[in-house]
Structure 1
Amino acid sequence: MTHHLLTGGEHGDRKGASGGGAGGEGSAGSGKGRSFGHTELPEKQRRALRRAIRLQWAWLGTAVVVIGLMSLVVGNSQAMKTSLFEDILSLLPPIAFLVAVRTASRKPTRNFPFGFHRAVAVGHLVAAVALFAMGAYLLVESVLNLVTVEKPSIGTVEVFGTPIWLGWFMMLTMAVTAIAPVVFGRLKLPLAETLHNKVLAADADMNKADWMSSLATVIGVFGIGLGFWWADSAAAGLVSLSIISDGVKNVKGAMSALMDARARTYDDEEPHPLVKEIERTVARQPWALEVRSRVRDEGHVFHAEVFVVPRRGRMPDLGELRRAREACVDLDWKVEDIVIVPVEAIPEEQAP
Structure 2
Amino acid sequence: MSERRGHPKEIVEDIRAAERLEWWNIGWTITIIAVMGLAMGSSQAMRTAWVEDALGLVPPIAFLVAARYEERASDAHFHYGFDRVNGLGFLIAAVALAAVGLLLFKDAVTALTTAEHVTIGSVRIWGHDVWLGWAMMGAQAYATIPPLIIGRKELPLAKRLRDKLLHTDALMNKANWQTGVAGFLGVAGLGFGWWWADSGAAILISASIIWDGWKALKIATSELVDGVPCALEEPKLSAEAKAVSTALRKEFPKSKVLLRETGRYIRAEVIGVKAPEEFDTKRFEIPGLKDRWRLESIAFRP
Determine the C-alpha separation between the residues in 2 that align with 1:316 and 1:84.
56
Kept in 2: contact 1:183–1:208 (CA 8 A): no
1:259 lines up with 2:194 in the alignment: no
Compute the displacement of 1:283 (Å). Answer: 5.7
Tell me, what secondary structure is at the counterpart of 1:293? Answer: strand
Aligned to 2:129: 163
Aligned to 2:214: 248
User: Could you give the per-residue CA deviations for residues 59-84 of structure 1, whole angstroms, max 9, x where no partner exists?
Assistant: 10000111111112111111101100
User: Could you give the per-residue CA deviations for residues 232-273 of structure 1, whole angstroms, max 9, x where no partner exists?
Assistant: 111111111111112111111111111111112333364222
Residues 250 and 280 of structure 1, relative CA distance in 2, 3 Å threshold: closer
Tell me, what secondary structure is at the counterpart of 1:333? Answer: helix
Gaps of 5+ in 2: none
Determine the C-alpha separation between the residues in 2 that align with 1:188 and 1:290.
42
Aligned to 1:334: 294
Determine the C-alpha separation between the residues in 1 that align with 2:100 and 2:211.
12
1:318 lines up with 2:277 in the alignment: yes
| Equivalent residues, number | 298
1:123 lines up with 2:89 in the alignment: yes
Kept in 1: contact 2:249–2:257 (CA 8 A): no
Tell me, what secondary structure is at the counterpart of 1:265? Answer: coil
Aligned to 2:110: 144
Aligned to 2:25: 59
Give the root-mean-square deviation of aligned CA atoms. Answer: 2.2
TM-score, with structure 1 as normaliser: 0.78
Kept in 2: contact 1:262–1:295 (CA 8 A): yes
Aligned to 2:260: 296
Residues 329 and 97 of structure 1, relative CA distance in 2, 3 Å threshold: farther
1:204 lines up with 2:170 in the alignment: yes
Compute the displacement of 1:291 (Å). Answer: 4.8
Determine the C-alpha separation between the residues in 2 that align with 1:207 and 1:259.
28
User: Could you give the per-residue CA deviations for residues 74-123 of structure 1, whole angstroms, max 9, x where no partner exists?
Assistant: 11111101100000000000011111111122112233222211111111
- Counterpart residue type for residue 75 of structure 2: T
> What fraction of aligned residue pairs are identical, expressed as a percent?
38
- Bigger radius of gyration, 1 or 2? 1
TM-score, with structure 2 as normaliser: 0.90
Tell me, what secondary structure is at the counterpart of 1:107? Answer: coil
Kept in 2: contact 1:282–1:328 (CA 8 A): no
Gaps of 5+ in 1: 1-25, 27-33, 310-314, 344-352
Aligned to 1:44: 10
Larger mean CA deviation between 275-284 and 83-92 belongs to 275-284
Aligned to 1:83: 49
Tell me, what secondary structure is at the counterpart of 1:266? Answer: coil
Kept in 2: contact 1:178–1:210 (CA 8 A): yes
Tell me, what secondary structure is at the counterpart of 1:141? Answer: helix
Determine the C-alpha separation between the residues in 1 that align with 2:21 and 2:138.
25
Aligned to 1:183: 149
Kept in 1: contact 2:94–2:216 (CA 8 A): yes
User: Could you give the per-residue CA deviations for residues 6-54 of structure 1, whole angstroms, max 9, x where no partner exists?
Assistant: xxxxxxxxxxxxxxxxxxxx6xxxxxxx25xx62321011110110000
Kept in 1: contact 2:49–2:176 (CA 8 A): no
Greater strand content: 1
Determine the C-alpha separation between the residues in 1 that align with 2:249 and 2:44.
60
Determine the C-alpha separation between the residues in 2 that align with 1:273 and 1:305.
18
